[in-house]
């Protein structure tokens, strides 16, 4: 009996184990964490995973299925050089058409580098077989050709919610009337005025046109330079089977999603582990609570100007709470309530019940983790998506923000905000509420991600989920042709009515209105 059960189990296991190719050439910083965790989840579930990225895990992973790293050497450095020329700090001040074009050029260049990398060439010419290709969408459309080469479904990861980059690819509506394009100015949490909505529409249109007439043709060229008989890039663009979104209604405002878009926000978070003993003691003994302060991995606290450091030291030193600060060097004159460390297990700290406040740069991972653990935040946004994340969190009522570059960055203001967050219970209530919503799902986000990636393989690309809107041109999708037809008919009707009125006036003769008389000359 047991033998039968066991062999049945083996058969099931064997049938379900699939081969996934993960292509993540732009995987740096938080993107690397998100991309790696997604592919590792597949390997943990017993699948055979090949992970292409600019980095390599230091130690071989212990996963149920095979996890093979393919490291694109020299790639990260080349991209870093490209990024350095593109100043992230003043993106918001530039004209959005320039920003879109600069970004597209940057991504075309990096896609070109990827496709000409010897290891990619080797992969393209190998006799490997894969059951699905997984990639992060980053205007790297040429990579979609791998699903054509290996004749298998394409799965896309979007590290944010639905957006103008991924919506058209799967027939999801761009909600232009209430979702700001990420190049549109203004608070993403607030409704738009008439003028803002008009601008928003304009940005969406420019972005769409530039994708199809500027970016994709270049990706087609790259593809033609490395592949014999390449498919059409536009066909590839519309061919994805599934888009996984790193979002959730507990973090982002809800938006309609077509069935082949699935939210998996928070999948990168592992259940809390045990803390190192010194930190455990420090946190356990903090009767007045703990403030945790980290500006993430990109922005080093030690690189802050001296006056900023002094402001932080003065304010944090005066608190009755203990403070854990991710700080990368020695800090002379450090007050006794502050513990500094180069590296900190962020999630395990946030999980400790004594943590009252998290001071963060507001990166997407940090804002997600704080909701998971239910800790209010003071956001000090620096660049990129951080200001928008800060606005969203403040609007949702579990955060206050202090612009790193703003004039308001003073000792008084910082002290006021920290004390407000520590002493007013509403911030904690709001974030605990969100935390409850975060965890209230039919399946945890990591299992959801694995389930859907398996689903696509099990059902041969899940073509039945694709909405009809993918295959029709934009003017039909948005009924622009119908609007034009109706406008034309209305104009005709109006014209006919005017003619009739004129004829009637003429017939009435003597009673002609003076204005009409004038016009007759
Ligand atoms: C993992 O790799 C080994 C050695 O290359 C191979 O024998 C085995 O079949 C692989 N496992 C899976 C699940 O593909
Ligand atoms: C891609 O790079 C090659 C050189 O490696 C260059 O000749 C080609 O023009 C580039 N293509 C695009 C579209 O930038
Ligand atoms: C792939 O298979 C073909 C035909 O079986 C063979 O000629 C070729 O050498 C193989 N290529 C590689 C990289 O193994
Ligand atoms: C579209 O995806 C299917 C699998 O879902 C794949 O077999 C096919 O080759 C893809 N088409 C193109 C043009 O790449
Ligand atoms: C700047 O600080 C003042 C109080 O000092 C506050 O009223 C104002 O809203 C702050 N401005 C910003 C942009 O945060």
> What is the band of 52 on the pLDDT scale with cuts at 50, 70, 90?
very high
Provide the pLDDT for residue 156.
97
Is 65 a pocket residue for ligand 1 (Cβ < 6 Å)?
Answer: yes
Residues counted in the chain: 521
- Neighbour count for residue 8 (Cβ, 10 Å): 10
- Reported as a single tens digit per residue, the pLDDT across 484-509 is 999 999 999 999 999 999 999 888 87
> What is the band of 24 on the pLDDT scale with cuts at 50, 70, 90?
very high
DSSP state of 296: T
In degrees and rounded to multiples of 5, residue 406 shows phi and psi of -80, 165
- Neighbour count for residue 237 (Cβ, 10 Å): 18
Please calculate the CA angle 270-276-280 and round it to the nearest 5 degrees.
95
Provide the pLDDT for residue 60.
87
> What is the band of 78 on the pLDDT scale with cuts at 50, 70, 90?
confident
Provide the pLDDT for residue 252.
85
Compute CA distances 487 → 201, 422, 483, 491, 501, whole Å. Answer: 20, 58, 6, 6, 21
In CATH terms, the superfamily for domain 10-267+444-474 is Glycogen Phosphorylase B; (3.40.50.2000)
Provide the pLDDT for residue 405.
83
For residue 298, how far is its CA from the centre of ligand 3 (angstroms)?
43
What residue ranges line ligand 2, CB within 6 angstroms? 108, 112, 116, 218, 221-222
Give 3-state DSSP helix, strand, coil % of the chain, rounded to 5.
50, 10, 35
Identify which of 131, 133, 134, 153 to mutate to test ligand 4's pocket (most ligand atoms within 8 A of the CB): 153
Provide the H-helix boundaries in 49-95.
75-85
Is 193 a pocket residue for ligand 5 (Cβ < 6 Å)?
Answer: no
**Number of the ligand 1 atom closest to the C-alpha atom of 65:** 13
Provide the pLDDT for residue 172.
95
Residue 280 pLDDT > 90 = yes
Tokens read off for 398:
């579990």
Q: Which of 10-19, 284-293, 300-309, 351-360 has the lowest mean pLDDT?
A: 10-19
**Mean per-residue pLDDT for 198-210?**
94
Q: Output the average pLDDT for the chain.
A: 89
What is the spatial distance between Cα 469 and Cα 203, in angstroms, rounded to a whole number? 21
For residue 230, how far is its CA from the centre of ligand 3 (angstroms)?
20
Please calculate the CA angle 329-331-335 and round it to the nearest 5 degrees.
145
Residue 5 pLDDT > 50 = yes
CA 23, chain centre distance (Å): 17
What is the spatial distance between Cα 340 and Cα 293, in angstroms, rounded to a whole number? 10
Beta-strand (E) ranges in 181-301? Answer: 242-245, 261-263, 290-294
Order across the sheet with 67-71: list the strands. Answer: 67-71, 48-53, 19-23, 132-136, 154-158, 242-245, 261-263
Provide the pLDDT for residue 89.
47
Residue 124 pLDDT > 60 = yes
Taking the CA of residue 145 as centre, how many other CA atoms within 13 Å lie in the half-sphere pointing to its CB? 27
> What is the band of 430 on the pLDDT scale with cuts at 50, 70, 90?
very high
Identify which of 118, 126, 127, 129 to mutate to test ligand 3's pocket (most ligand atoms within 8 A of the CB): 127
- Neighbour count for residue 346 (Cβ, 10 Å): 21
Q: Which of 248-252, 263-267, 493-497 has the lowest mean pLDDT?
A: 248-252
What is the spatial distance between Cα 199 and Cα 205, in angstroms, rounded to a whole number? 10
Most confident of 78-92, 106-120, 415-429: 415-429
Provide the pLDDT for residue 355.
97
8 A C-beta contact, residue 110 and residue 85: no
The secondary structure of 162-203 as a DSSP string is S-TTTHHHHT----TTTS--TTS-S-TTSPP-HHHHHHHHHH
- Please tell me whether residue 328 adopts helix, strand or coil conformation: coil
Measured between its terminal Cα atoms, the distance across the chain in Å is 104
**Number of the ligand 3 atom closest to the C-alpha atom of 127:** 1
- Reported as a single tens digit per residue, the pLDDT across 292-346 is 999 887 667 777 888 888 899 999 999 999 999 998 888 777 888 999 988 899 9
- Reported as a single tens digit per residue, the pLDDT across 79-92 is 777 666 655 545 55
Residue 45 pLDDT > 50 = yes
Provide the pLDDT for residue 459.
96
- Reported as a single tens digit per residue, the pLDDT across 57-72 is 988 889 999 999 999 9
Of residues 48 and 102, more confidently modeled: 48
Portion of the chain with pLDDT greater than 70, in percent = 91
For residue 453, how far is its CA from the centre of ligand 2 (angstroms)?
33
For residue 427, how far is its CA from the centre of ligand 4 (angstroms)?
48
Instruction: Provide Rg for the chain, Cα atoms.
Output: 28
Provide the phi-psi class of 70: left if phi over 0, else alpha when psi is between -120 and 50, else beta. Answer: beta
Q: Which CATH architecture has domain 277-439?
A: 3-Layer(aba) Sandwich (3.40)
- Reported as a single tens digit per residue, the pLDDT across 371-395 is 999 999 999 998 778 888 898 899 9
Is 413 a pocket residue for ligand 5 (Cβ < 6 Å)?
Answer: yes
What is the spatial distance between Cα 512 and Cα 505, in angstroms, rounded to a whole number? 6
């Amino acid at each position: 009996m047991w033998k039968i059960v066991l062999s049945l189990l083996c058969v099931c296991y064997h049938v379900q184990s699939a081969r996934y190719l993960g292509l993540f050439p732009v995987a740096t910083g938080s993107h690397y964490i998100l991309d790696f965790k997604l592919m590792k989840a597949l390997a943990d579930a017993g699948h055979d995973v090949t992970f292409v990225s600019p980095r390599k895990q230091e130690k071989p992973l212990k996963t149920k299925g095979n996890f093979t790293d393919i490291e694109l050497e020299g790639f990260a450095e080349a991209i870093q050089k490209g990024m350095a020329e593109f100043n992230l700090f003043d993106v918001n001040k530039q004209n959005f058409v320039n920003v879109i074009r600069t970004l597209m050029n940057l991504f075309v260049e990096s896609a070109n580098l990827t496709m000409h990398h010897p290891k990619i060439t080797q992969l393209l010419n190998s006799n490997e077989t894969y059951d699905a290709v997984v990639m992060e969408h980053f205007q790297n459309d040429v990579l979609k050709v791998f699903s054509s080469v290996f004749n298998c479904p394409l799965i896309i990861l979007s590290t944010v919610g639905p957006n103008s980059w991924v919506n058209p690819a799967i027939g999801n509506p761009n909600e232009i009337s209430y979702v700001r394009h990420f190049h549109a100015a203004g608070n993403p949490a607030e409704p738009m005025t008439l003028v803002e909505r008009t601008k928003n529409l304009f940005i969406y249109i420019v972005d769409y046109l530039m994708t199809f007439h500027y970016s994709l043709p270049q990706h087609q060229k790259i593809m033609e330079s490395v592949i014999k008989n390449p498919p059409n890039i536009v066909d590839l663009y519309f061919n994805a089977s599934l888009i996984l979104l790193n979002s959730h209604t507990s973090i982002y405002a809800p938006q309609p999603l077509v069935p082949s878009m699935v939210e998996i926000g928070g999948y990168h978070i592992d259940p809390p582990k045990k803390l190192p003993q010194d930190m455990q003691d420090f946190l356990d003994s903090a009767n007045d609570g703990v403030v945790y302060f980290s500006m993430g991995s990109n922005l080093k606290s030690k690189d802050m100007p001296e006056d900023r450091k002094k402001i932080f030291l003065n304010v944090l030193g005066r608190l009755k709470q203990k403070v854990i600060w991710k700080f990368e060097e020695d800090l002379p004159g450090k007050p006794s309530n502050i513990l500094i460390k180069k590296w900190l297990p962020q999630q395990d700290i946030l999980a400790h019940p004594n943590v009252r406040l998290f001071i963060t740069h507001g990166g997407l991972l940090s804002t997600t983790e704080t909701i998971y653990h239910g800790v209010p935040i003071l956001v000090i946004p620096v660049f990129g998506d951080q200001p928008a994340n800060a606005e969203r969190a403040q609007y949702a009522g579990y955060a206050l923000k202090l612009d790193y570059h703003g004039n308001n960055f003073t000792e008084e203001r910082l002290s006021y905000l920290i004390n407000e967050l520590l002493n007013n219970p509403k911030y904690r209530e709001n974030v605990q509420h969100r935390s409850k919503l975060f965890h209230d799902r039919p399946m945890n986000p990591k299992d959801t991600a694995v389930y859907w990636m398996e689903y696509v393989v099990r059902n041969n690309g899940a073509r039945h989920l694709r909405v009809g809107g993918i295959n029709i041109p934009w003017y039909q999708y948005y009924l622009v042709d119908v609007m034009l037809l109706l406008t034309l008919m209305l104009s005709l009707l109006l014209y006919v009515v005017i003619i009739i009125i004129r004829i009637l006036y003429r017939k009435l003769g003597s009673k002609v209105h003076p204005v009409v008389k004038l016009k007759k000359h």
